[in-house]
Structure 1
Amino acid sequence: MSEDHLSSRCAVIGNPIAHSRSPQIHQWFAHQFELRIDYQRIQAEDNSCEKASFEKTVTQFFSAGGRGLNITSPFKQQAFAMADIQSPAACQAESGNTLWLENGQLHVTSTDGAGWYQHIQHLGVELKDCNILILGAGGAGRVIFEYLKELGTVASIVLANRSQEKLATMHFPNNTFGVTLDSIPNQDYDLIINALPTGWQNSFPEVSVPVTETTAAYDLNYAEGAKSFQEWFLAAGGQQKNFYDGWGMLVCQAALSFEIWWAQKPQTAELINHPELILSR
């Protein structure tokens, strides 16, 4: 295998991973710059030894000359922990979705928060003075929570998780709250964000939250992965026009990773507006 080919190798690691469209998205970006890249899916073992399996997979990938890795559920915290250099965005949430080697050191950052916000801006959704509920305190949910805290323009943020364990290590300043899914405050929310990793299993937990005709909902999953949350939202009284899935976030966060690895900033609007260019393949 030639050195040029090795330096073009990128991948996404997760479990499950077969549904990921990251390879197609990165190939779409590469075509914009006439780059030839090899972007694969890698499924790390998901068992009692998953941490060791994940770290071994990452080490082997870069030892073989890989250029960059995207990380998805359930390995974002492990990616953060094993890196030598951790970006401020990654440190805020103790989570990372982008790895690369630089001067022999493993770097990690999270592009989830900035990618989500870029998509929100693309959609024209106003966040100023909003009351926001985030469901799920895992990697992406925690990143978005921290990003919104840093933004400083929303009225309140409630972060709801299945268990108290992850919330216990987090900081909740004024007008931010950490609760379990069964103790969400009974109040109106302008935006409900689903960051629970349940989409691809087509299951959504029982959640009691007021939903009105003006409530907006955003699922970090996309396409079929967003179906269960979408059905819950519509059954609770939400409007289809106010529901958004995470396709645009996926595209935007991927573009930020691509820029880190290749020093090229891809255009995203066409792919955000026309997911069928990839999803129909």
Structure 2
Amino acid sequence: MTILTGKARIAGITGWPVGHSRSPRLHGYWLERHGIDGAYVPLPIEPANFETAIRGLMAAGFAGVNVTIPHKLAAFALCDTVDDFGRRIGAINTLVFENGRISGRNTDVWGFLSNLRANGVDPAAGPALILGAGGASRAIAAALLELGVRVTIANRTRARADALAAELPGLRVIDWDTRDHALPDNTLLVNTTSLGMAGQPPLQIDLDRAAPGLTVNDIVYVPLETPLLAAARTRGIRRVEGLGMLLHQAVPAFHAWFGVEPVVDDAMRRFVAADLLPA
């Protein structure tokens, strides 16, 4: 067990609420594995207190924080500098504190692309259909468009999808009710909605319409196998689960705060996944 000293590097994750986050578990695993004098802690911060709290954490010597719902846009506004993808997307999930300045980064893009590649999927290989138009969808769509992929989006609220397309040139929008009909024209399906998450209704889509070679990626990771991924498995369709995106997006943040670039391997995945399995 690593013992903290007065020189410990401290980081954490802030959201409201934040108790559901598995980030302390995964960062804690890497800190222990590498024997780093540091800690990563959950930081529940109410939206009204966000700016005061973030500046207080920086003043207290924190190395930085991850940012989750509902703070990603507010965090963007606090940054002195923002990386290219964070600026394009308009939201960040990682803050790095250094010399009294706040640097913002969006590592969701890294996490998404790295997770596909780790599962043998080339993100640039073909057209993609994204379901949902929230923050994760924005990051994923921007990443794929940057690679030259033809990207189509469908959202339960059409106006929200249209608004996202207005900000990301080249993004195509279709009605939610036509998502089944779009499957034959795409080689990657990405679910960024909450449908299929524990406590939510399953995502309804007819995978029997899938094009040969389709890959199904569900960024939901509770449960590890969502109804969508189970449906893909029974049809022999390649699938990529969502936990990998969470693990891979943490790599550049950990490196920025603690100076070590960790590895996402099977042992680490099993350790984090064990906390997601039903008792």
Q: Same fold (TM over 0.5)?
A: yes
The residue number in structure 1 matching 2:101 is 105
The residue number in structure 1 matching 2:256 is 260
Is residue 77–residue 139 contact of structure 1 (8 Å, CA) maintained in 2?
Answer: no
- Offset at residue 199 of structure 1 (A): 5.4
Is residue 196–residue 227 contact of structure 2 (8 Å, CA) maintained in 1?
Answer: no
Alignment of 1:1-281 (within 5 A): 5=6, 8-45=9-46, 50=47, 52-152=48-148, 154=149, 156-163=150-157, 164-165=159-160, 167-168=162-163, 170-174=166-170, 176-182=171-177, 184=179, 186-187=181-182, 188=184, 189-198=186-195, 200-204=197-201, 207-208=204-205, 211-212=209-210, 214-224=213-223, 227=225, 230-232=226-228, 234-235=230-231, 239=235, 242-271=238-267, 275-280=269-274
Q: Secondary structure at the match of 2:70?
A: coil
- Offset at residue 108 of structure 1 (A): 0.6
- Offset at residue 63 of structure 1 (A): 2.8
Please give the TM-score of this superposition, normalised by the length of structure 2: 0.82
- Offset at residue 160 of structure 1 (A): 2.4
Q: Secondary structure at the match of 1:217?
A: strand
- Offset at residue 259 of structure 1 (A): 0.9
- Offset at residue 83 of structure 1 (A): 1.5
Q: Secondary structure at the match of 2:181?
A: coil
- Offset at residue 107 of structure 1 (A): 1.1
Please give the TM-score of this superposition, normalised by the length of structure 1: 0.81
- Offset at residue 195 of structure 1 (A): 1.4
Is residue 136–residue 192 contact of structure 2 (8 Å, CA) maintained in 1?
Answer: yes
Q: CA 1:160 to 1:77, structure 2 compared with 1: closer, same or farther past 3 Å?
A: farther
CA RMSD of aligned residues (A): 2.9
Is residue 76–residue 104 contact of structure 2 (8 Å, CA) maintained in 1?
Answer: yes
Q: CA 1:28 to 1:223, structure 2 compared with 1: closer, same or farther past 3 Å?
A: same
Q: After TM superposition, which residue ranges in structure 1, 4 or more long, deviate above 6 angstroms?
A: none
Aligned residue pair count: 266
Structure 1 residue identity aligned to 2:219: L
Q: CA 1:236 to 1:125, structure 2 compared with 1: closer, same or farther past 3 Å?
A: closer
Q: Percent identity of the aligned residues? A: 27
Q: Secondary structure at the match of 1:78?
A: helix
Q: Secondary structure at the match of 2:130?
A: strand
Structure 1 CA distance, aligned partners of 2:153 and 2:6?
43
Structure 1 residue identity aligned to 2:90: E
Q: CA 1:209 to 1:85, structure 2 compared with 1: closer, same or farther past 3 Å?
A: farther
Structure 2 residue identity aligned to 1:98: T
Is residue 17–residue 43 contact of structure 1 (8 Å, CA) maintained in 2?
Answer: yes
Q: Secondary structure at the match of 2:266?
A: helix
Q: Secondary structure at the match of 1:186?
A: helix
Structure 2 residue identity aligned to 1:56: T
Is residue 130–residue 192 contact of structure 2 (8 Å, CA) maintained in 1?
Answer: yes
Which range moved further: 232-241 or 182-191?
232-241
- Offset at residue 98 of structure 1 (A): 0.3
- Offset at residue 34 of structure 1 (A): 1.6
